[in-house]
Amino acid sequence: MLRILTICLVLLWLNACAQKSPKVETMSSLKTSMKSVVLDTTWIEKIVKSNIEWKKELSADQFYILREHGTERPYSSPLNEVKDKGTFICAGCKNPVFSSNTKFDSGTGWPSFYEYFSSKSVSVSLDNSLGMSRDEVVCKRCGGHLGHVFNDGPEPTGLRYCMNGDAMEFVTEQIPTGELTVATFAGGCFWCTETIFESIKGVSEVISGYSGGEEQNPTYENVGAGRTGHAEAFEVYYDPKVISYIDLVRVFFASIDPTIVNGQGPDRGKQYRTIAFYKNDEEKSIIEQKIKEISTEYNKPIATQVVPVQKFWEAEEYHQDFVKRNPNQGYVRAESIPRRERTLAKVKDLVR
């Protein structure tokens, strides 16, 4: 009887990746592997090595997961907490397997994604080990075991790629700021505006933050409570060779109701006012010309402020890429995603 009970407990633990367990806060620090690697999705030859060779290159934990099909303990990998922009690569062969853009918090304790990086990233096959049937995910280039995939993930795929952090490394995204130009706007909730502009071609990055007030080091709590002069704002890093400032202004006004004073959608307060910040006379002229064009479309005056660019304060990290990370959050589903889709339908020629 004791033997049967022990086997059942082992099977339960090994299948824990299929369970939605509550989070246990045990990690005191976050350490990620940040390396300069070439993200190659054009490789032709697969990588084949003996276990002896793999043992020389991998850590004991990596070898256990990748080559012996092991499973790490939930919440044991720092990669579960990574929220930076970047790419997750196979720890064995450096093949890019998942993007931070498709990572989400599944509540399982393992890094989870709803889509893989490219067609060269992973392979899925049936795993009948341990007396159960699961879909195993392995690196397509070296065959290293990564984890399993389940059909209880968020839209748009409905899949949850439940991965072992020890099977991967993380490469942070570097923004080539020297080649990009920055535009700053405020358009109501920055969760909404960020996901809109990140869908536009030529846009490399969108940073949520605060601007328009005089207070130093504003926080979400203070801004959200209306205790500062700041508005929820966002910076758009874009390539002017791909998209013009004129088109960005077009997207901005397509994304808002410019006649609402101190608010957008269900959100009200000066922190949700709309602002077009300009860096020079040319940008100011472009904004004013656009306002002149659209003013005839409304029965009320345009309330969007046009002001010189002010100091931009980057918002707390958990606000960055909020919609991508929390696609099933209530406000995101009810407001952010519908607003994004309405806006993109108006500027189809600019969608990436």
**CA pair distance 317, 166, nearest whole angstrom:** 24
User: Would you state the structure tokens that stand for residue 298, as one six-digit string?
Assistant: 């409304």
The pLDDT of residue 15 is 45
| Among the listed residues 47, 39, 85, 87, the one whose alpha carbon sits nearest the alpha carbon of residue 67 | 47
User: Is the pLDDT reported for residue 174 higher than 70?
Assistant: no
Mean pLDDT of the chain: 88
Q: Is residue 188 within 8 Å of residue 263, measured between CB atoms?
A: yes
Instruction: Give yes or no: 189 in active site.
Output: yes
Q: So what's the pLDDT on residue 175? A: 56
Q: Which of 17-21, 127-131, 288-292 holds the top average pLDDT?
A: 288-292
Q: Which residues pair with 208 in a beta bridge?
A: 234
In this model, does residue 29 exceed pLDDT 70?
no
pTM of the model: 0.58
Instruction: Tell which wins on pLDDT, 248 or 7.
Output: 248
- CATH architecture of the region 34-172: Beta Complex (2.170)
Please give the pLDDT value at position 1: 47
Q: Return the exposure string of 132-152: e unless at least 16 CB atoms fall within 10 Å of the residue's CB, then b.
A: eebebbbbbbbbbbbbbbbee
CA angle 230, 235, 236 (to 5 degrees): 155
> What are the extents of the domains in the chain?
34-172, 177-350
pLDDT of residue 36 exceeding 80: no
Interior angle at CA 74, CA 70 and CA 79, nearest 5: 90
Within 10 angstroms of residue 304's Cβ, the number of other Cβ atoms is 23
Catalytic: which of 93, 142, 189, 192? 189
Question: Which stretch of DSSP H or E encloses residue 167?
Answer: none
Residue 5's pLDDT is what?
44
Distance CA 112, CA 144 (A): 17
Dihedral of CA 173/123/133/1: which sign? negative
The pLDDT assigned to 141 comes to: 96
Catalytic, out of 90, 93, 142, 162: 162
Summarised one tens digit per residue, pLDDT across range 102-161 is 999 999 999 999 999 988 999 999 998 878 889 999 999 999 999 999 999 998 899 999
Euclidean distance between CA atoms 347 and 22, whole angstroms: 41
88 and 98 in contact (C-beta within 8 Å)?
yes
In DSSP terms, 205 is beta-bridged to 237
pLDDT digits (tens, 9 = 90+) for 198-236: 999 999 899 999 999 999 999 999 999 999 999 999 999
Domain 177-350 has CATH 3.30.1060.10: yes
Cis peptide before 240 (omega within 30 of 0): no
Q: What is the CA radius of gyration of the chain?
A: 23
